[in-house]
Amino acid sequence: MSENVNVEQMSSKDALSYFQAKLDEDARQAKKEGRLVCWSASVAPPEFCVAMGITMVYPETHAAGIGAHKGSMPILDVAENKGYNTDICSYCRVNMGYMELLKQKALTGKTPQVLADSPAADVPLPDLVITCNNICNTLLKWYENLANELHIPLLMIDVPFNHEWPVQKHNKEYIVGEFKHVISQLEEICGRPFDYDKFLEVQKQTQRSVAAWNKIATFLTYKPSPINGFDLFNYMGLIVCARSLDYSEITFNKYVKELEAKLEAKKYAFGDNEKTRVTWEGIAVWIALGHTFKELKGMGSLMTGSAYPGIWDLTYTPGDMESMADAYTHTYINCEIGHRGEVLEQVVSSGKCDGMVVHQNRSCKNMSLLNNAGALYVQKKLDVPFVIFDGDQTDPRNFSEAQFDTRVEALGEMMDAKKGGNQ
């Protein structure tokens, strides 16, 4: 990375690219210098590791990048040859395949051909891993296997499913107990006392990043909208991978300024062609991000709602462990259906959406099994139509462009009919 880069002069888009590349470089540099690298689940708290100077790498984002660059199939094959069933989440299979290739490289000193040919960003093997099941229990099994295969420590923040809402006191106490355990694990791994002062600073940084992230989402409420929700999927990379660093805060604040300027200049995402607005429920289809976006754009359907990016609204009070525990456990997909439905309803209503596109994701049982119930809940409350399509985040075998197009066109017809009826 060039030291002469002037981040201040960059657009938010350039800053996004710059910091994403820098995160990978930071990890490579840390490894080179013998500093610790940690692989992390996307919504696991990074604050503890960052406070101890550990560099974070995010396999889900890494896998999404491989998928978006059409490189997942050869790596999925590697994982499947190791015995990972095609039923298992494709993020995990991509990551297990990538880990296997890195292991082979480390053991033989030669880069396996699949890795040499892959568009995968070059990130190093971890010295420890941290997971949190606030978005799915798959992350427990995935990281259990990573720790076992690599013979490295596992830091686990198990957030129990919130079958009661709001979050119960004993849930928070248990999670705080886990935080304390992670601190003691880190003290042992790093061989020095936990740095509580740095931890507080990191918590404050995380809150500034989260606040900037949340500010971006408020632009989805404008009609017409200056922002296309698909852009959130791109910027999401930084709230996942760098929320405890200033990289994300800097980038998001730039984006907020750009959006304010657009709004001021009446420059909208679809110009004057914003015919309808939709909520996208579920993870993006990274292997067909362009196609899904273009199909909707072709109909003048702008995405102005998605509960998924809102998962990183991890607002809490720095210095208050229970508040932090609450923030990390109350992701909408870790809560009972009533609260989950309310969050979805809020997304659809604040995005002023006319319909919902629901991703029945073959890789995500936690989202997919309640898709229908969630969508029906919103439909009942807000009387908006929805369609469900079959897809996958990073396994191209589970997505069909034709089916997606047909379903979305059907939604378009339903939205048009409703608008017609309302006139």
Partner 1 sequence: MKQIDELIAQFQAVAANPAKAVADYKAETGKGAVGMMPLYAPEEIVHAAGYLPIGMWGAQKQSIAKARTYLPPFTCSVMQSVMELQLNGTYDCLDAVVFSTPCDTLQCMSQLWHGKAPIVVFTHPQNRKIAAAVPFLKAEYAHVKAELERILGVTISEEAIENSIKVYNENRQIMREFCDVAAQYPQIFDPAKRHAVIKARWFMEKSKHTALVRELIDAVKAQPVQPWSGKKIILSGIMAEPNELLDLLKEFNFAVVADDLAQESRQYRNDVPAGCDPLEQLAQWWQDFDGCPLATNEAKPRGPMLIQAAEKYQADAVVICMMKFCDPEEFDYPIYHMEFDAAGLRHTVIEMDQESTAFEQIRTRLQAFAELL
> Minimum distance between the CB of residue 30 and partner 1, rounded to whole angstroms?
23
> Minimum distance between the CB of residue 289 and partner 1, rounded to whole angstroms?
22
- If the CB atoms of residues 168 and 346 are measured against partner 1, the closer one turns out to be 168
> Minimum distance between the CB of residue 330 and partner 1, rounded to whole angstroms?
14
CA 131/CA 223 separation, integer angstroms: 38
The residue type of 97 is: G
Q: What count of other Cβ atoms lies within 10 Å of the Cβ of residue 125? A: 17
- If the CB atoms of residues 83 and 420 are measured against partner 1, the closer one turns out to be 83
Would you state the structure tokens that stand for residue 417, as one six-digit string? 């009919």
CA 387/CA 299 separation, integer angstroms: 15
Would you state the structure tokens that stand for residue 246, as one six-digit string? 């200033």
H-type alpha helices, 87-137: 90-108, 113-116
Locate tokens 């075998």: which residue? 397
Sheet of 55-57: strand order equals 55-57, 37-40, 128-132, 154-157
> Minimum distance between the CB of residue 144 and partner 1, rounded to whole angstroms?
5
- If the CB atoms of residues 158 and 416 are measured against partner 1, the closer one turns out to be 158
What are the backbone angles phi and psi of residue 167, rounded to the nearest 5°? -60, 130
CA 160/CA 37 separation, integer angstroms: 27
> Minimum distance between the CB of residue 22 and partner 1, rounded to whole angstroms?
31
> Minimum distance between the CB of residue 286 and partner 1, rounded to whole angstroms?
19
- If the CB atoms of residues 56 and 147 are measured against partner 1, the closer one turns out to be 147
What are the backbone angles phi and psi of residue 87, rounded to the nearest 5°? -70, -20
> Minimum distance between the CB of residue 368 and partner 1, rounded to whole angstroms?
5
- If the CB atoms of residues 30 and 287 are measured against partner 1, the closer one turns out to be 287
Q: CA nearest 370: which of 397, 355, 388, 354?
A: 388
- If the CB atoms of residues 92 and 242 are measured against partner 1, the closer one turns out to be 92
Q: What count of other Cβ atoms lies within 10 Å of the Cβ of residue 180? A: 12
- If the CB atoms of residues 26 and 100 are measured against partner 1, the closer one turns out to be 100
CA 110/CA 273 separation, integer angstroms: 53
Sign for the CA dihedral angle at 357, 362, 367, 369 comes to positive
Locate tokens 């936990």: which residue? 194
Locate tokens 């998924």: which residue? 308
Sorted by sequence, the CB contacts under 8 Å of residue 180 that are 6+ apart come out as none
- If the CB atoms of residues 179 and 268 are measured against partner 1, the closer one turns out to be 179
> Minimum distance between the CB of residue 124 and partner 1, rounded to whole angstroms?
21
> Minimum distance between the CB of residue 366 and partner 1, rounded to whole angstroms?
4
> Minimum distance between the CB of residue 168 and partner 1, rounded to whole angstroms?
8
Q: What count of other Cβ atoms lies within 10 Å of the Cβ of residue 144? A: 14
Would you state the structure tokens that stand for residue 389, as one six-digit string? 């399509």
- If the CB atoms of residues 78 and 220 are measured against partner 1, the closer one turns out to be 78
Locate tokens 């048009």: which residue? 416
CA 277/CA 302 separation, integer angstroms: 5
- If the CB atoms of residues 225 and 398 are measured against partner 1, the closer one turns out to be 398
> Minimum distance between the CB of residue 130 and partner 1, rounded to whole angstroms?
12
Binding site for partner 1 (CB under 8 A): 82-85, 87-89, 96, 133, 136-138, 140-145, 147-149, 154, 156-158, 160-161, 163-164, 168, 170-171, 173-174, 176-178, 180-181, 336-337, 340, 360, 362, 365-366, 368-370, 372-373
- If the CB atoms of residues 186 and 220 are measured against partner 1, the closer one turns out to be 186
What distances in angstroms separate CA 367 from CA 87, 349, 362, 375, 411, one per listed residue? Answer: 15, 20, 10, 11, 20
